[in-house]
Amino acid sequence: MAVILNPDASIVETVRTGLKRTGGYCPCRLERTEEYKCICKEFRQQIADPNFEGYCHCMLYYKRKDDVK
């Protein structure tokens, strides 16, 4: 399993600017709760799921599954 930044630099810049503006909370969410502090609870749970592969809610991070052969 690997968690990487989105390869699209413009998305990374936009989200990081939003994170600075919100004090580290997901800029895509209206509520400012610990649940939405980056890396958000939703994505931490997705990271823990061995079958999940995809982006976090704001698309800053991407989780790849290990290729087990």
Please indicate, yes or no, if residue 43 is contained in any of the structural domains: yes
pLDDT at 68 over 70: no
Mean pLDDT, residues 30-55 taken together: 95
Model pLDDT for residues 2-20, shown as the tens digit of each residue: 999 999 999 999 999 999 9
Q: What is the pTM of this model?
A: 0.85
Please indicate, yes or no, if residue 53 is contained in any of the structural domains: yes
Give me the domain span that covers residue 26.
2-64
pLDDT at 69 over 70: no
The H or E element that residue 41 is part of is: helix 41-48
pLDDT at 48 over 60: yes
Q: What's the total number of domains in the chain? A: 1
Mean pLDDT, residues 31-41 taken together: 95
- Which residues pair with residue 55 across a beta bridge? 62
Please indicate, yes or no, if residue 16 is contained in any of the structural domains: yes
Please indicate, yes or no, if residue 69 is contained in any of the structural domains: no
pLDDT at 1 over 80: no
Please indicate, yes or no, if residue 41 is contained in any of the structural domains: yes
Instruction: List all residues 6 or more positions away from 29 whose beta carbon is below 8 Å from its beta carbon.
Output: 36, 40, 57
